[in-house]
Amino acid sequence: MNTIVDIKGVNKIYGTNHVVKDLNLLVEEGEFLTLLGSSGCGKTTTLRMIAGFEEPTTGSITVEGEPIEDKEPYERNVNTVFQSYALFPHMTIYDNVAYGLKMKKVPKKEIKERVLKMLEMVQLSGFEKRYPSQLSGGQKQRVAIARALINRPKVLLLDEPLGALDLKLRKQMQLELKRLQKKLNITFIYVTHDQEEALTMSDRIAIMHDGVMDQIGSPTEIYERPATKFVATFIGETNVFDGTIRSIEGGKAVIGIENGEVTSSGSVEEGDGKNTGFAVNEFVTVSVRPEKMHFLRNRWRALRFRRLSEITSM
């Protein structure tokens, strides 16, 4: 896999507001990467820095190995799908989709071919002469996607593109977006606060929290092995116990919690508790997914966890 976007040590500060903190992120070519987090976590700012609408305060961003700091948005080989669609209200659907190609002075005949093909791909054939105000939300979103994709960007940036749609349409568009991404083999960087959306579509998810990227990994990794307490509680349902490690033997840790103790079934690495692994007497948080619990009739241990998801350092 080749790296297509490389974000190195990026900070974004507005006045006294530190929005993105020391972000390092490698995006691989052809992957569907989601930046997931609640509002105000810096995910949209990160996206806008890649697009060129914001400049990093410090740090660098390269696309295909080329630094893009000095490039205007129109010089970058990335395109954006905006949350509010941002369709030009005074232009027909045809002109909206053709806009990027017209700016690049592509021959008229080729523009026509590509626009019609693109509209077919997003299932909007026959809508060329309509205006954005005559379309439904879902249709507008498709136009916005077509308008961005027609430029054959290396990276497509999507800023909560399905946020304004109703649930049913959103589900349908999720599948459609994923299909388009696979078909065209374009790198998607997708921003959302909807964890279900992220888990459904992404190859990898980067979880952001207060301007910091807490964890990046596949949906399974994120779910099964959350790196921080925030990630554990943000994704899915979980049970959280605070406790102290009593012993670590053969990779199994015994953790004392409020009224009893739990034993991990997975391997727990022993270390000094600061830089490496976990140490005895360390305060930890135990996160157990509900579906990983089952109850046994046992006189001595009323409750046992079949498998611990993760033990997280406090």
Shortest Å distance, C-beta 75 to other proteins: 8
Nearer of residues 72 and 258 to other proteins, judged by Cβ: 72
**Is position 108 an interface residue for other proteins (rule: CB under 8 A)?**
no
Q: Which two tokens stand for residue 62?
A: 């390269």
User: Which parts of the chain are beta strand (E)?
Assistant: 3-14, 17-28, 32-36, 58-63, 66-67, 78-81, 155-159, 187-192, 204-209, 212-217, 239-249, 252-257, 260-263, 283-288, 293-295, 303-305, 310-313
Mask of contacts with other proteins, 129-148, x by CB under 8 A? ------------------xx
Encoded amino acid at 242, one letter: D
Interaction residues for other proteins, span 49-88 (CB under 8 A):
51-53, 72-74, 79-80, 82, 84, 86-88
Nearer of residues 159 and 214 to other proteins, judged by Cβ: 159
Distance CA 13, CA 227 (A): 26
Shortest Å distance, C-beta 148 to other proteins: 8
Q: What share of the chain is helix, strand, coil (3-state, %, to 5)?
A: 30, 35, 40
**Is position 280 an interface residue for other proteins (rule: CB under 8 A)?**
no
Alpha helices in 17-66 (DSSP H): 43-51
Nearer of residues 35 and 51 to other proteins, judged by Cβ: 51
Distance CA 61, CA 83 (A): 23
Nearer of residues 187 and 228 to other proteins, judged by Cβ: 187
Shortest Å distance, C-beta 106 to other proteins: 10
Nearer of residues 12 and 229 to other proteins, judged by Cβ: 12
Given 37, 100, 161, 219, the residue binding other proteins (CB under 8 A): 100
Q: Which two tokens stand for residue 242?
A: 């605070």
Nearer of residues 2 and 16 to other proteins, judged by Cβ: 16
Shortest Å distance, C-beta 121 to other proteins: 18
Helix (H, G, I), strand (E, B) or coil at 212: strand
**Is position 103 an interface residue for other proteins (rule: CB under 8 A)?**
yes
Check residue 302 and give left, alpha or beta (phi > 0: left; psi -120 to 50: alpha): alpha
Beta-carbon neighbour count of residue 33 at 10 Å? Answer: 24
Nearer of residues 148 and 268 to other proteins, judged by Cβ: 148
Q: Which residues bind other proteins (CB under 8 A)?
A: 51-53, 72-74, 79-80, 82, 84, 86-90, 99-100, 103-104, 147-148, 151
